[in-house]
Amino acid sequence: MVMGLLALGLALYGLFTRQLNVTAGKHLLTMLVVCVGISMCIIGWFATKRPKPGMFLKASHPDKPWMWREDWMAGQVANARVRSVFFLWIAVFVFDLVSLFAVVLVLPGVRFGHPLAWLSVLFPVIGLAVTIFAARTSRTWGRFGGSRLVTTGLPLAPGGVLIGEIQVPVWLEPKHAFYLRLRCVRRTTAQRGKNRVTTERILWQDEKWISPSLPQTEAGATCLPVFFKLPADLPESTYGRGDGVQWELEAQAKVKGPDFQGAFEVPVVKPVVEAAVATLPVAAPEVSDPSLKYQLTLDEIRKEIRSRIVVVDQPGGREFKFPAGRNPGFAGGATGLWLIWSGAVVLMVVNHAPLLFPLVFTAVDVLMGIFVFDLWFRRNRVWVTPAQLRVETAWLTLKKEVTIPATDVASLKADIGATAGHAAYYDLRLKTRTGREILLAKNLSHKPEADWLLGRMVAGLKGK
């Protein structure tokens, strides 16, 4: 933060006095080199002093990757946010160094009002913003970094159950509720030109809301019950860096001061079946959900997420209304990205870039615009009766309608459609007996509500 403030001060001084003392610049560069050298020595010292038990565990259990971490062997999962904070500060440090270089090397050679002068000011401003963000994140880690997930039966198996509790070393009193989310994510890295791009695809996700009125089992601490059933048809975990599949439990809550956040990577491994043992499948014993009595009701969840979806019981059937613009945060973020992309296209045209670049960027811009328009203006209405299911989709004054006899409905399901960061949005789909798929509604923000809506639709087809 000191470097960011120093860079900003020098930038404003040079911008409004149109000069920068050369001797001061030389001293700053010398100080910069010294700071980099000291920082590298500190990082190297920590790297050599940090214990690396994983290397020995990996050598001892080469065919059992779930035993490569001491916390997993003890039936616990440490909060993964500590690594995020460490790398965040490295990124902030590098950006502040770049800000100093921009101020010291670029600003003296440009005149007042030149775009490069304003760009030299922009760098330290952004540096200060990310430094403040890193400081707030570090404060959160200092309070909740000791959180851990305590469970039994690690590693987990596809089709098994994650049962345990998140132990937080401070007493939490959330304003609304605890939010838990278990995700299965596939990371893929692809080479695009000279750049390597890593993308994440959410294969599966489940969510729960836990009431803030938990019993205090230990003074000054919080124990948050965890229970999730894993589907049997998803891949197991991939260990080590790089591409692969990761299972992660996230916990969040809005509390006084820094909000509670935790991330816990859990190992999921398919059980090895001995070829010599040929037995019939045995059903796994049912395990009771210890978090059931603390979970919010569906009405409370819908109030928490401020759902605008309306379900109306009518004589002989049921109507579902999905209004336009239900997810302003998602739509607003997509709109911002689209505007930035559109600005880049305009700059290419104004600066007479080679024709291929504006054409390609314009094509992508049109697709992004269609997506944004759909987020803001798509609305759906679904009428369900024991005789038929009717779907109306509209954008402003444009409408289309589809009617499916109840006898032709094969299944109703909720699939993950769009994703934005760690958030997944669900699409409700109908599949007919001929294999045709019909979209009923898009971009439902939470799985419990999507499952409830499907249940109400199925009940409506059955006349209930």
* 88/215 same-domain check: no
In 3D, which of 407, 307, 326 has the Cα closest to residue 374? 326
* 34/135 same-domain check: yes
* 435/361 same-domain check: yes
Percent of the residues in the chain that have a pLDDT greater than 90, as a whole number? 38
Nearest-5° angle of CA 233, CA 182, CA 300?
Answer: 120
In 3D, which of 401, 407, 413 has the Cα closest to residue 388? 407
| pTM beyond cutoff 0.75 | no
Q: How far apart are CA 173 and CA 192, in angstroms?
A: 47
* First-last CA distance in the chain: 62
Q: Of the residues 86, 114, 144, which one is the last residue of a structural domain?
A: 144
Question: Do residues 393 and 400 touch, judged by C-beta distance below 8 A?
Answer: yes
* 21/120 same-domain check: yes
- Residue 62 reports pLDDT greater than 80: no
Question: Do residues 81 and 20 touch, judged by C-beta distance below 8 A?
Answer: no
Average pLDDT of the residues of the chain: 79
Q: Is residue 281 part of a domain?
A: no
- Residue 322 reports pLDDT greater than 50: yes
47-61, 125-139, 194-208, 420-434: range with lowest mean pLDDT: 47-61
- Residue whose structure tokens are 């009701």: 297
Q: How far apart are CA 128 and CA 147, in angstroms?
A: 29
Q: Of the residues 89, 109, 144, which one is the last residue of a structural domain?
A: 144
pLDDT in tens, 281-320: 444 456 788 888 999 999 999 998 899 999 999 888 999 9
Give the residue with greater pLDDT, 131 vs 3.
Answer: 131
- Residue 89 reports pLDDT greater than 50: yes
Beta bridge partners of 295: 210
Task: Indicate which CATH number applies to the domain containing 201.
Answer: 2.60.40.640
Q: Is residue 263 part of a domain?
A: yes
In which band, very low, low, confident or very high, does the pLDDT at 373 lie, cut at 50, 70 and 90? very high
pLDDT in tens, 328-348: 999 999 999 999 899 888 888
Q: Is residue 315 part of a domain?
A: no
In 3D, which of 347, 373, 372, 369 has the Cα closest to residue 358? 347
In which band, very low, low, confident or very high, does the pLDDT at 395 lie, cut at 50, 70 and 90? very high
Domain carrying residue 375: 320-461
Q: Is residue 283 part of a domain?
A: no
Task: Return the sign of the alpha-carbon dihedral for residues 313, 319, 320, 321.
Answer: negative
194-208, 275-289, 403-417: range with lowest mean pLDDT: 275-289
CA 135 to chain centre: 21
* 123/158 same-domain check: no
Q: Is residue 307 part of a domain?
A: no
- Residue 100 reports pLDDT greater than 60: yes
* 139/182 same-domain check: no
* 54/12 same-domain check: yes
* 363/388 same-domain check: yes
Q: How far apart are CA 326 and CA 375, in angstroms?
A: 8
* 44/140 same-domain check: yes
* 163/127 same-domain check: no
- Residue 10 reports pLDDT greater than 90: no
Task: Return the sign of the alpha-carbon dihedral for residues 61, 66, 72, 78.
Answer: positive
Q: How far apart are CA 74 and CA 72, in angstroms?
A: 5
48-52, 53-57, 106-110, 225-229: range with lowest mean pLDDT: 48-52
State the alpha helices, DSSP H only, in 284-390.
298-304, 328-350, 356-377
Percent of the residues in the chain that have a pLDDT greater than 70, as a whole number? 73
Q: Is residue 313 part of a domain?
A: no
3-state SS of 186-208 is EEEEEEECCEEEEEEEEEEEEEE
Q: Is residue 66 part of a domain?
A: yes
* 90/160 same-domain check: no
Domain count across the chain: 3
Distance set, CA 347 to CA 339, 361, 404 (Å): 12, 11, 49
- Residue 144 reports pLDDT greater than 90: no
